[in-house]
Chain A
Amino acid sequence: MPKVQFIDPSVARQAGEITFNPIPVNQYAKTVAEEKANFSNDDFLRIYHDMVVIREFETMLNLIKTTGEYSAIPYDHPGPAHLSAGQEAAAVGMAYTLTVDDFIFGSHRSHGEILAKGLSAIQKLNDTDLLAIMESFFNGTVLNVVKKDFIGTTKELGRRFLIYGTLAEIFARETGFNKGLGGSMHAFFTPFGVYPNNAIVGGSGDISVGAALYKKINRKPGLVVANIGDASMACGPVWEGLSFASMDQFNELWEGDMKGGLPVIFNVMNNQYGMGGQTCGETMGYGKVARIGAGVNPEQMHSESVDGYNPLAVIDAYRRKRQLIDEKKGPILLEILTYRYSGHSPSDASSYRSKEEIEAWQAQDSIASFGKSLVDAKVTDQNTLDTVWADIKQIMVEMLKLSINDEVSPRMDIRQRPEQIGEMIFSNQSVDKMEDRTPEVNHPMAENPRVIQISKKERFAFDADGKPFSKMKQYQLRDGIFDAIVDRFYKDPTLVAYGEENRDWGGAFAVYRGLTEALPYHRLFNSPISEASIVGTAIGYAMCGGRVIPEIMYCDFLGRCGDEVFNQLPKWQAMSGNMLKMPVVMRVSVGSKYGAQHSQDWTSLVAHIPGLKVVFPVTPYDAKGLMNSALQGTDPVIFFESQRVYDIGEQFHKGGVPEGYYEIPFGEPDVKREGKDVTILTIGATLYRALDAAKILEEKYGLSAEVIDARSLVPFNYEKVVASVKKTGRIIVSGDATSRGSFLNDLARNITELAFDYLDAPPVVVGSRNWITPAYELEEAFFPQPEWFIDAIHEKIVPLKGHVSGQNFSDLEQIRRAKLGV
Chain B
Amino acid sequence: MAFVVIMPKQGQSVESCIITEWNKKKGDPVKKGEILFAYETDKASFEEEAAVDGTLLDLFYETGDEVPVLTNVCVIGAPGEPTDAFRPGGTKAETIEVEAKLETIGNKETAETKVNSPISQVPGSGAISPRAKNLAEKEGILLDGLTGSGPGGRIIEQDVKAVINSHPKTTPLAKMIAGEEQLQPTSTGTGLGGSVKAKDLTPPNPIYANDFEIKKLSNMRKLIAKAMHQSLQNSAQLTHHLGADARRMLELRRKVKKANDNGYPVNITLNDMVCFAVVKALRKFPQANAHFLGDSVKYFSKIHLGIAVDTDRGLMVPVIRNADDLSIQGLSNQMREIAASCRKGAINPELLSSEAASFTVSNLGNYGVEMFTPVINLPQVGILGVNTIIPRPKDLGDGAYGFVPYIGLSLSYDHQALDGGEATRFLKQIATEIENLEFEL
Query: Which A residues are closer than 8 A to B by beta carbons?
Result: 676-677, 701-703, 729, 756-761, 795-802, 811
Chain B nearest CB from A287 CB (Å) reads: 69
Checking B101, B120, B132, B152 against A702 with a beta-carbon cut-off of 8 angstroms, the contacting residue is: B101
The 7 listed contacts between A and B (C-beta, < 8 Å) are: A702-B112, A756-B130, A760-B132, A761-B150, A798-B151, A798-B156, A798-B158
Chain A residues closer than 8 Å to B157, beta-carbon distance: 729, 760
Checking A676, A677, A759, A799 against B131 with a beta-carbon cut-off of 8 angstroms, the contacting residue is: A759
Chain A residues closer than 8 Å to B130, beta-carbon distance: 756-760
Checking B108, B115, B117, B131 against A758 with a beta-carbon cut-off of 8 angstroms, the contacting residue is: B131
Chain A residues closer than 8 Å to B112, beta-carbon distance: 677, 702-703
- In chain B, positions 313-357 with a C-beta closer than 8 Å to chain A are none
The A/B interface has a contact count, at CB < 8 Å, of: 63
Chain B residues closer than 8 Å to A759, beta-carbon distance: 129-131
Chain A nearest CB from B135 CB (Å) reads: 9
Task: Specify the chain B residue showing the minimal Cβ separation from A811.
Answer: B152
In the complex, besides A760-B132, A798-B116, 10 extra interface pairs with C-beta distance below 8 angstroms are A701-B115, A702-B101, A702-B111, A729-B129, A756-B130, A760-B131, A795-B151, A798-B158, A799-B150, A801-B115
Chain B residues closer than 8 Å to A795, beta-carbon distance: 151
The 5 closest A-B pairs by CB, nearest first: A760-B131, A729-B131, A702-B104, A760-B129, A760-B157
Task: Specify the chain B residue showing the minimal Cβ separation from A703.
Answer: B112
Chain B residues closer than 8 Å to A729, beta-carbon distance: 129, 131, 157
Checking B93, B100, B101, B156 against A760 with a beta-carbon cut-off of 8 angstroms, the contacting residue is: B156
A450 to B264, CA, bound (A): 114
Most buried by A among B93, B101, B130, B150: B130
A800 to B156, CA, bound (A): 13
Tell whether B436 is near chain A: CB-to-CB under 8 Å: no
Chain A residues closer than 8 Å to B101, beta-carbon distance: 702
Chain A nearest CB from B43 CB (Å) reads: 30
Checking A676, A702, A797 against B115 with a beta-carbon cut-off of 8 angstroms, the contacting residue is: A702
Chain A residues closer than 8 Å to B115, beta-carbon distance: 701-702, 800-801
A618 to B156, CA, bound (A): 34
Task: Specify the chain B residue showing the minimal Cβ separation from A700.
Answer: B97
A799 to B150, CA, bound (A): 6
Chain A residues closer than 8 Å to B118, beta-carbon distance: 799, 801
Task: Specify the chain A residue showing the minimal Cβ separation from B105.
Answer: A702
A761 to B152, CA, bound (A): 11
- In chain B, positions 15-40 with a C-beta closer than 8 Å to chain A are none
A798 touches B100 (CB 8 A): no
Checking A758, A796, A801 against B116 with a beta-carbon cut-off of 8 angstroms, the contacting residue is: A801
Task: Specify the chain B residue showing the minimal Cβ separation from A810.
Answer: B151
Chain B residues closer than 8 Å to A761, beta-carbon distance: 129, 150-151, 154, 156
Task: Specify the chain B residue showing the minimal Cβ separation from A676.
Answer: B108
Tell whether B149 is near chain A: CB-to-CB under 8 Å: yes
A233 to B180, CA, bound (A): 74
A760 to B132, CA, bound (A): 6
- In chain B, positions 109-131 with a C-beta closer than 8 Å to chain A are 111-112, 115-120, 129-131
A761 to B153, CA, bound (A): 12
A800 to B100, CA, bound (A): 13
Chain A residues closer than 8 Å to B150, beta-carbon distance: 760-761, 797-799
Task: Specify the chain A residue showing the minimal Cβ separation from B150.
Answer: A798
Chain A nearest CB from B292 CB (Å) reads: 44
- Say yes or no: A799-B104 contact (C-beta < 8 A), given A757-B134, A760-B156: no
A801 to B112, CA, bound (A): 10
Chain A nearest CB from B100 CB (Å) reads: 6
Checking A677, A756, A797 against B151 with a beta-carbon cut-off of 8 angstroms, the contacting residue is: A797
Chain A residues closer than 8 Å to B93, beta-carbon distance: 802
Chain A residues closer than 8 Å to B152, beta-carbon distance: 811
A796 to B151, CA, bound (A): 6
A796 to B129, CA, bound (A): 12
A759 to B150, CA, bound (A): 13
Chain A residues closer than 8 Å to B156, beta-carbon distance: 760-761, 798
